[in-house]
Amino acid sequence: MDLNATVIYNGIPFISLAQEQRGGLALVNGIVYSSYSGYVGDCGNYHGWVVGVDINNPTNVHGWATTAMGGGIWGHGGVASDGTNMFVVTGNTFNTGGNWMGGEAIIRLQAGPTWTGQPTDYWAPTNWFSLDNSDTDLGGVSATIVDVPGATPSQLVLALGKDSNAYLLNRNNLGGIPGTPYQANVGGTNRGISAVTYHTSQGTYIGFHNDAGTVRAYKITPTNPPTITFGWSQSQNGRGSPWVTTTDGTNNMIVWYAATTSSGDQRLHAYDGDTGAIIYAGGGTNELMTGTRQWNTGMVARGRIYFGADNRVYAFRLPAGTPTPTATAESNCYSDSHSNRDRNFHCYLDCNCNFHSNIYTNGHRDCDSHGNFDGHANCDSDANCHSLRFRQSDSDTQTNPHSETPYDTEAAPELRRQGRAQGKR
């Protein structure tokens, strides 16, 4: 799909040379949405763009852009959605003459995307022009959908600004300028990262990592109106985005964070969602990652935490069965084909496996202890396993055979508590 030839909004053409697709993709009701900022930062004739492509008819393409130049959507999380509408946060704009043209704002888009331009579908703070002039973007962090049962309003959207403020708005009526934001100073510069939200028996939280080198969580009160109150903070360098896991949606909530880049220790860290107590502190020699990039986040699937780095993906897991004092490597070949013959297998040692190593066979076989299959040496023979360690403790360490994800610990480097592992500039 050539966006240069197909996407235009209010006379503004999409110019790919000026645009950067930093944010992740979002699939909402059959449309894939991508967001854009500036390819070389605040240079060039770029706009904040959201482009939607119909997956059933890819020639059906729509776009929305900030009217003013600039206004990039820098957050790595891209477009957020409540299942119906899409939300983005824009950054600083240029040459506006003090007339608001889409920058420094939370924007609510309808399917397409389309935008009404009505106050219900945007919010910007009264000092947006000052934020523009000082490059103090709102749009450095992706929008986050937050639901707070018992609050009025209860359906909210969050923006985190470089100005150290957190802004919560009623996502059903953003309110235009000035609107009615529920805000608090949450310390540090917030940019590039994505925030998380989660619920425990003690309430609803938002969490994030900031440029002050802390992982922080704040509680949103179930009141009229809702307020933002301090939860906990842990010092941790690096420039990653947190993610959360739980055993059932509210219990054993863990906030995970990878301290990415050389400014961090390039290790996985985990914190109790209610208290911030350290649950996992990075492990030992085998758990060290390399080549991690700023603002990235992890993901969870099939009992493992995955984290992407340069030319590799790291997998973290706990041994299956009864907990033991040390990690146990399991080397298997996993099929990525549904064919009955000539299946394409990749060797995994729960390690950084060579992505170019494929095995073609008619059956399911195990790799040997060096990650080799029938002598083909498809996995890197020097690959290191990245497995979380834990110790036997109380009954809460027992393995749940129905859980797709690993269990955490209470104090690094050993595990004890049960847990389910799921920018600008």
Q: Mapping DSSP to helix (H, G, I), strand (E, B) and coil, where does residue 347 land?
A: strand
Helix or strand run (H / E) with residue 128 = helix 128-133
| Number of residues assigned to the chain | 425
pLDDT at 378: 34
Closest CA to 326 of 391, 380, 400, 275: 391
Neighbouring C-beta atoms of residue 328, cutoff 10 Å: 14
pLDDT at 250: 83
Half-sphere exposure of 375 (CA within 13 A, CB side): 0
The alpha carbon of residue 24 and the mean position of all alpha carbons in its chain are separated, in whole angstroms, by: 8
CATH of the domain at 37: 2.115.10
In degrees, rounded to 5, the angle at the alpha carbon of residue 22 between the alpha carbons of residues 422 and 190 is 75
Any domain includes 86:
yes
Helix or strand run (H / E) with residue 133 = helix 128-133
Q: How far apart are CA 66 and CA 93, in angstroms?
A: 8
Q: Report whether pLDDT(319) > 70.
A: no
Mean pLDDT for the chain? 80
pLDDT in tens, 282-304: 999 999 999 999 999 999 988 79
Torsion of CA 87, 204, 247, 30, to 10 degrees: -20
Give the mean model confidence (pLDDT) for residues 101-124: 98
Any domain includes 189:
yes
Q: Report whether pLDDT(398) > 90.
A: no
Q: How far apart are CA 266 and CA 277, in angstroms?
A: 20
Q: Report whether pLDDT(62) > 90.
A: yes
Are 344 and 305 in contact, with CB atoms under 8 Å apart? no
Are 333 and 345 in contact, with CB atoms under 8 Å apart? yes
pLDDT at 192: 82
pLDDT at 315: 95
Q: Report whether pLDDT(361) > 80.
A: no
| Per-residue tokens: 190 | 């917030």
For the chain, give percent helix, strand, coil, nearest 5: 5, 35, 60
Any domain includes 285:
no
In degrees, rounded to 5, the angle at the alpha carbon of residue 410 between the alpha carbons of residues 407 and 416 is 45
Are 371 and 272 in contact, with CB atoms under 8 Å apart? no
Any domain includes 419:
no
Q: How far apart are CA 63 and CA 406, in angstroms?
A: 40
Any domain includes 398:
no
pLDDT at 207: 97
pLDDT at 320: 57
Any domain includes 337:
no
Tell me how many domains the chain contains: 1
pLDDT in tens, 154-179: 999 999 999 999 999 999 999 999 99
Any domain includes 105:
yes
Q: How far apart are CA 382 and CA 80, in angstroms?
A: 40
Closest CA to 61 of 13, 4, 6: 6
Range of the domain at 132: 3-235
Query: pTM of whole model > 0.85?
Result: no
Tell me phi and psi for residue 182, to 5 degrees: -105, 110
Any domain includes 145:
yes
Q: Mapping DSSP to helix (H, G, I), strand (E, B) and coil, where does residue 5 land?
A: helix
Are 183 and 167 in contact, with CB atoms under 8 Å apart? yes
In degrees, rounded to 5, the angle at the alpha carbon of residue 13 between the alpha carbons of residues 141 and 66 is 35
Evaluate the omega torsion of the peptide bond into residue 325 and state whether it is cis, within 30 degrees of 0. no
